[in-house]
Every structure is written in C-alpha cells, then in structure tokens.
Amino acid sequence: MKKIIAVTGCPTGIAHTFMAEESLKKAAKEMGIEIKVETNGAIGVENELTEKDIKEADGVIIASDKDARVDRFIGKPIIETSVQDGIRKPKELIQAILDGKAQIKKSKAQRNENTNEKTEKKNEVIGKESFGRSIYKHLMNGVSHMLPFVVAGGVLIAVSFLWGIYSADPASDQYNKIAAMLKGIGGTAFSMIVPIFTAFIASSIAGRSGMVAGFVGGLIADATGAGFIGGIIAGFFAGYLMLGLIKMLSGLPRQFEGLKSIFLLPILGILATGILMTLLGEPVSYINNSVMDWLASLESANPLLLGLVIGCMSAFDFGGPVNKAAYITGTMLLSQGNYYFMAGVSAACITPPLVIALATTIFKKQFNEEDRAAGLVNYILGFTHITEGAIPFAAKDPLRVIPILMVGSSISSILTYLMKVQVPAPHGGFLILPIVEKPFIWVGCILIGSLVGAILYGLYKTNLNRKAA
C-alpha cells in the first residue's frame, strides 16, 4: 500500500488546520492510501512526523499557510499548497503524488547547482511554490504567532472594563487595583504584537538569524508609530537581508561558524534593520495613521459602505487572507482604543456559521443527515467566533453560497455600525458578551443578518433540490 505523509497548518491553528487533516484522511481512506497527517495547530505540533515516517513515505503534501519546516523532506516528492486546497482538493493532491507529478524537494545547494539548468515545464510538475505564495506564507507565519498575544491581551484589557472604563486610572473614582493589574498585563501582551509579528515573518524567511533582526526592527516600528505597515517592511527586510548575509559569509572556514552566528550576523542584521526603520519610522507612521483615521471616519460618515466592505471581506474566504486583512485592521484600531470597528468585524465573522446553522434548522428537509449534524456544530462555532465552520458548505458551490454568506455578514456588520456597538475584545464571540457595550443589540444585529442569509440559503437549496428531483 502506498504511504503519503502530510502537514497542515493555518494562521490561527483553530479550524482550517484540522479540517484539512480530516479531508486528507477521508480522501486517503476512500482511495486506499495510507496517510499520516501532522497538524500545526494553536497548541503546537501534534502527531509529529518521525524520521521513519518521512523515510517510508512515497510523497509529502504540505497544506499549510505558515512555516512547516519543509527542509525535513529533502529528496521526497512534495506538493506545497494552501490549507484551503487541503480542505477542498484532497483527492487531487493525493492523485498528483501517485501520478508522479510532485516536485522532488531539493536542498539549497542542489537548487543553486541547478539554477542554470533547463527546468521542467510548469504543467508537468506540481508543487513548486511561487514567489507570491512564499510571501503570503511568511506573512501568515507572523500573523499565526501574533494572534495569541492579540486575543489574550485584548480579552484581559476588555475584562478590566467591567469595573468601569476608567477603572485603571488612579485619578478616577472608578479606580480598582485588580482592574489596573489586568489592564497592565493585557497592555504588556498588546505591546508585543508588532515585534512578534515582525520577528516571525523574518524567522520564516531566514530562521533564528532573521528572528533577532526582525524583533528589533519590530520594536523600532512600534516605538516610531509605524505599526503593522512598518512591521511588514522590517520583517521582510530583515529576513531577506539575513539570507543574503548568510550566503555572503558561507565561504568562511568552519572554525569561524561560532563567530559568524553569534557575532557577525546579529550585529549586521540589527544594525541595518535598525537604521532602515529609524529612517522610515516617521513617514510610515504618517501613512499608517492616515489609513487608520480614514477607516475610523467611515464608521460615522458612511457606516453602510464600511459594513458592506467588512461583511464581504469577512465572508469571502472564512479565515483566509482577505478575512485576516479585515481582522488585523480591527485589531490595529482596537489597540488605539477604537472599539466600534472591531464590533462590525466580529459580527461579520460570527455570521457565516450561524447562517449555515439556521438554514439547516429551518429548512432541515432540504439537507441530508450529515449536513444537519454539521449545522448543529456551526451553532457552537458561530457563537465562539470561528468562521471556518461554513467552509464545507461553501466549498460545495462557492459561486452561489459565498455571495449569500456575504449578504448575511454585511447586514450584521452594517447594523452593528448603525447601532454604535462597542466590542473591546478581538475574539471570543458571544463568550465576551459581559464586556460588550449594548450586548443584546449586538446579538440582535448578528441574528438578523444570519437569519436573512439562512433564508436565502434555504430557498436556494429548496430550488436546487426541486430541479434535481
């Protein structure tokens, strides 16, 4: 029996990671293939691939949007793709391995030797990672490591508001020591967001050497107000700078390895990245603040347009890059004390799984038993802000289902902005209702958008089943 190994991972490590694992295992079972899947989830690596697993494998599937330590698989046929493909196209990926269409993973030395040789045609080899895909993976590696700081810090700051909005201010009548402590701890976690984000972008590119320069660049970006835009610049600059320096110094004798890794590389990397971010800090800060001010102004000037954009982004790819762009923007504004923007983002992210859950309940005769069971699970996923629960339903007919989910999310987001709801935490769904301003109104906004989407989806399924009959 053929044996394939796989690695799955997504930026949040909550849903996509394990949905891809399940899809690959199910497809392998149907095709009579043995498979072992390593997951890179929120709590770390599980079911880790051993040297024996790698040696015995006939091929490797990397369905991950973050660093998966692919150098382990040198000499093996390998396909590197997104976690979404792992969910949606597991049989195609497995079949590509079986048909010999996967590219053999080469070491850096082998790749350098072959740079002038004729390469195989694009349609004959599957799995060669494009430059754009590589950039996205490095970026998502930063997001993945940043999110726990965002969620933990944001929730602790939000909990401190239970004693009052000024409960951490010693000069206020609302002052409370416990609230001040919680806000201080949460604020410390929040202050690490940009440096961690930047460090792990650079680390994904150049390993530990990149992380050091990236972390310092992130600290300077944060201190100068350059924020996430500055962090992205510093992360990619530090990463590719260190790659270049490592290549330049590769000719040094092995006895100088310690000098190179402990002395030369950190000093040169930190110096160059630090100078760049010190010079760019002010102009990037101006751009960053201008973008944030414009987005914040839309809340009152044009909540319909803002809600429509946020709703469509959040329901477009269910935790993918477009969804994450909206989420990270909300996080940036949250760190600046703007709790209105994140309220609309959270509402839009909660809505898609609730649309599915309500549709399978109201129109239960139009869905099979498996879909109805998955619909019940989506109640839990929706209530806890896990958008990915809608993926299996959207994947069956994306051109029709995704626009329906966008409509529902947009309505929820627009109503949230019109009602001026404030959500001070970046995640948690309905679990954070005690710290939400106007919690019942917020739930109502989400349920209205979800119900509209559910009715549209249910009517679509009814019409589809009628035609099939």
Catalytic residues: 10
Residue 3 parent element (H or E) = strand 3-9
Residue 104 parent element (H or E) = strand 103-104
C-alpha distances out from residue 66 to 40, 175, 293, Å:
9, 42, 31
C-alpha distances out from residue 429 to 155, 247, 331, 426, 432, Å:
11, 47, 15, 9, 6
Nearest-Å Rg of the Cα atoms of the chain is 24
| Distance of alpha carbon 343 from alpha carbon 413, whole angstroms | 8
Neighbours of 431 (CB within 10 A): 13
Q: Tell me the sheet residues that pair with 39.
A: 8, 46
Residue 73 DSSP label: G
| Distance of alpha carbon 382 from alpha carbon 183, whole angstroms | 27
| Distance of alpha carbon 379 from alpha carbon 377, whole angstroms | 5
Neighbours of 282 (CB within 10 A): 11
Of the candidates 322, 373, 314, 317, the residue with the CA atom closest to the CA atom of residue 349: 314
SS3 of 368, please?
coil
What's the CA angle centered on 166, arms 161 and 172, to 5 degrees? 145
H-helix segments, 208-339: 208-223, 227-248, 257-259, 265-301, 303-314, 321-335
Q: Which two tokens stand for residue 276?
A: 């760049």
- The separation between CA 89 and the C-alpha centre of its own chain, rounded to angstroms, equals 20
CB 404 within 8 A of CB 130: no
Look-up: residue for tokens 């040297």? 51
- Contacts of residue 264, defined as CB under 8 A and 6 or more positions apart, other chains included, come to 245, 249
Of the candidates 42, 35, 47, the residue with the CA atom closest to the CA atom of residue 12: 42
| Distance of alpha carbon 459 from alpha carbon 210, whole angstroms | 53
| Number of helical (H) and strand (E) elements in the chain, helices listed first | 19, 6
